[in-house]
Amino acid sequence: MTEAELTKEEPKIEAITNILKDELNLTSHQIDREKEKRKFVPQKPTEEEINKIKAADPERFDESVIKGLNYLFDNQFMAAKTIFEEKADHDPLNALALSSMAFLKAVMTSADQDQTMALNALNETYDIANTQLEAAKKSSKVSGYFSGYYNYLKKKGDSPTDTTTTEAGTSTAARPTSSYPPNSALRAHVLKAECCLQIAILQLLQESVMGYVKCGLNLRRAYSSYSYVWSEYQKMGADHLAFMDSDTISGVQFGIGSVHLVLSALPAKILKAISAFGWQPNKKYGFVLLNECRQSKRVRSSMATIMLLAYYTAAISFAPQIMSDVYKKTAMDILLDAQKYHPNSAVFLFFAGRMARNGLDLPLSTQSFLYAAEISRGEWAEVAVTNSCRFEMAMNHMLTGNWSHAAATFEYLYEQQYWSTAFCRYAQGACYEMMGERTEAILIFAQVPQLVVKKLGGRLSDIDSYVLRKITMFQKSGYQNLDFYAPILEFMCIWNVFPYVSPELLTEALNRIQHGLAAIQKCENLEQEQRMMELAPDTPMPDYFDERACLLVVKAAILNVLGRPEDTTLDINWILDHKESILQDTWTVPYALWEAGVSCWSLDLKNKSRQVWEMALDHGKHDFEHRLAVRLNLALTHTEELGFTEPQPTEPVDDKKRFSVALDQPTTNNSIASSS
């Protein structure tokens, strides 16, 4: 390229000086006087000069954030908080680090006040990042040119006078004139996007229709910024480090990877309702980007580790019989790698407890939770970590049949107002019921309705709505029909934790279910005998469809875990055949279909599992609908990845649309059918 062409492409120094005059309102005389003054008089750098230095070498200014994050994951929460607070009012990265602490606390506690605090902090951080973005746009005419030009030449090792031609036939000096946005603007876009991402996750955890809508809107906002930065990053090619710092790259890897994972976990019905992205989430791509971010050991590496561990542990716990073999080893490898750098981190110990449970080592699981709670004492996150660990320990007590310890732990959580006080009280009473202390259980159950609080736009949370309805059913008979229920076993079935229970305890639980079914049968027989003694009696027909359906779903779940899937057919079919009569516990129908799919899976009829699970998706407006939908989505996605995509048969029979999925067993009754 000729010197004339170069002169034409590059901005003239006079033009740049004129821009400086316009921006700073300085005359030529004033500029000269300022230069002379700075030669002799030490001056404190202005905020603008500091920003220019930070733009040239931002990673050096990010070291304090990385130091604070190391404190955070070494349980020195207050030290981390102090570091972040020093610059949080004007630096969006420090503000985001501080907001992320509030975000983690809100996720662990699920408390309204913690969620409100985290949302406020993230919105404030969004405003700070947006302010930085506007400032970067204003000064991009000057700083963008100098920063890009200097960094490019520094990367190439060229001098300003070097105009050699590359192999592609273009001048290396021509690259800085490309329209790359300044690094500060790209960084601000990434920080804004992460604020939206964390806000979306908090709204997703609310499990409300409005929460899902807001989640979708914030994911769109996040992905818009992330995709813009990612496209610029790809344009830069191998020279990206000359124009974008590694922490910004780390942030965009974390963000895009997280958006793909969150969206891939959403049920199809919800994703269709809230998204207008025009693209399909790619789970494998999300894993790749998050692992690259994790291994870079930069500013968002720890959050990438948490995102991966959260996804893997949640996926396994939602569907342990299906997903455990898929993710368990990968999750353990990531956890062990994280603990090399932070061996005593309360956060990673919490995940260690979850992974130990997934590995059926309940003593180690409880020990991990207990240690995590102990080492967080006296720190900023003491209450959040302790209560989260206590809840998981209560789950472990239930899994080992230690009902007295479970009841005591739920009482402690009730006093701490953790998650749902109504549920904690309900679970405490249910544990007393399992111990045979019915009077104490009834006294505790009677307190539950006063603890239910309307929230989330005037509606009840799923868990509060569930326990209130169960207590109402208990009270309908004056607590005389408690033998027809198994409250804590029903909860364990819904939460899908039977795969972690020993065969001996499962057999005891099965006997408890059979006792309940026998009690219902006995009551029905007595009522039928009374009707035989009177013509057209006033007493209604026996109606225990809801009670029997709940017990049969629990029974099917236990039989599946005990390795007896062929014994579940009659029980599941009873629920499906009587679904029109099940008016209160409508959740039993889709959950029965879930267990039907698990039975097929155990019998190596995976394509039929997919067909039954797709039938379950047709049911809605029941307790824990979204929880089951996530579980179904994980299982269905996995079956499709394995190649089981045979279409579902839907042939009408006897003027009714009936679906039949045969288990291919020798007996003629082995079919799973549903009427609609």
Question: Three-class SS string for 212-253?
Answer: HHHHHHHHHHHHHHHHHHHHHHHHHHHHHHHCCCHHHHHHHH
Q: What is the pLDDT of residue 128?
A: 92
Print burial letters for 84-105: b (CB count within 10 Å at least 16), e (below 16). beebbeebbbbbbbbbbbbbbb
Q: In this structure, which topology does domain 299-399 adopt according to CATH?
A: 1.25.40
In this predicted model, which residue has the larger pLDDT, 12 or 426?
A: 426
Model confidence band, residue 559 (pLDDT cutoffs 50, 70, 90): very high
Amino acid in the structure at residue 487: P
Residue 136 has a pLDDT of 75
Answer whether CATH 1.25.40 is correct for domain 481-533+540-642.
Answer: yes
Model confidence at 38, in pLDDT bands (50, 70, 90)?
A: very low
Angle at 322 between CA 293 and CA 201, to 5 degrees: 40
Q: pLDDT at position 646, please?
A: 75
Could you tell me how many residues make up the chain?
676
Of all residues in the chain, what percent carry a pLDDT higher than 70? 79
Element (H, E) at 672: strand 671-675
Confidence of residue 160 (pLDDT cuts 50, 70, 90): very low
Pairing mode of beta strands 656-662, 671-675: antiparallel
Residue 477 has pLDDT above 60, yes or no: yes
pLDDT in tens, 616-649: 999 989 999 989 999 999 999 999 999 998 765 5
Count other C-beta atoms under 10 Å from residue 338's C-beta.
Answer: 23
Q: What is the pLDDT of residues 380-407, one digit of tens each?
A: 889 999 999 999 999 999 999 999 999 9
In the predicted model, what is the mean pLDDT of residues 419-424?
96
How high is the pLDDT of residue 456? 55
Report whether pLDDT(219) > 60. Answer: yes
| Tens digit of each residue's pLDDT (9 = 90 or more) over 55-102 | 456 777 889 999 999 999 999 999 999 999 999 988 899 999 999 999
d(CA 500, CA 508): 15
Cα separation, 11 vs 25, in Å, equals 20
Q: Over the stretch 302-350, which tens digit does the pLDDT of each residue have? A: 999 999 999 999 999 999 999 999 999 999 999 999 999 999 999 999 9
> Which of these ranges, 139-148, 334-343, 436-445, has the smallest mean pLDDT?
139-148
Q: Which residue has the tokens 């300022």?
A: 34
Query: pLDDT class for 523, splitting at 50, 70, 90?
Result: very high
Output the pTM of the full model: 0.84
Q: Who's near 415: CB < 8 A, 6+ residues apart?
A: none
Ordered by start, the domain boundaries in the chain are 299-399, 481-533+540-642
Assess whether pLDDT exceeds 80 at residue 48: no
What are 102-111's pLDDT values in tens digits?
999 999 988 8
Q: Do domains 299-399 and 481-533+540-642 have the same CATH topology?
A: yes
pLDDT bucket at 210, cuts 50 / 70 / 90 = confident
